[in-house]
Structure 1
């Protein structure tokens, strides 16, 4: 198993720990950080789905070309996920509650859709 899977698992455990600390009011978190974590989660789930689709079939030439495009998209999703965690919360823009709710709900919805899709294949 690639080491990146362990890293992703540990990050997930820490985010769950962060949610528990926030639930009991032991820490305060700005909504812009919650939004950026949700955006990062969405990109990381999309990257995982891209890797899954990239490994499904690689037989004919057209699929090999599509495989290169899927690989590029997967790498871009990993980059955007890291960007969302490290840089996005510090960018000067307006983080409204409606945008925050949209990002959180969209990330959860896409994650569940991708898990369901992987179960169908």
Structure 2
């Protein structure tokens, strides 16, 4: 029985480390909106066409850290941007990510934003084909 309890404790600590779980973190993220648009960014001092993903993220809990992850999927591949941000209680932030990887010829452009810990929802934005 002692080995089982020890193993369970190690498993929980391992998941906490890998997943970034913090029992003292009382932030609860909520994704309000997600939008994407073609845009031009500057990469190494040179203009580069790509896709900008914008999201409004709100902390519906107490102050703490939220992990926000933006994902872009196109006919040319998938890319991810992730960051951990401190939020005060009830704070809302406008976040933006620039993806320079897809070309202007990319099709089926879709973006998702996830937040954790938070409300279990993923917001998605799709490019409207002309």
- TM-score, scaled relative to structure 1: 0.25
Give the structure with higher Rg (CA): 2
- TM-score, scaled relative to structure 2: 0.24
As a proportion of its length, which structure holds more strand? Answer: 2
As a proportion of its length, which structure holds more helix? Answer: 1
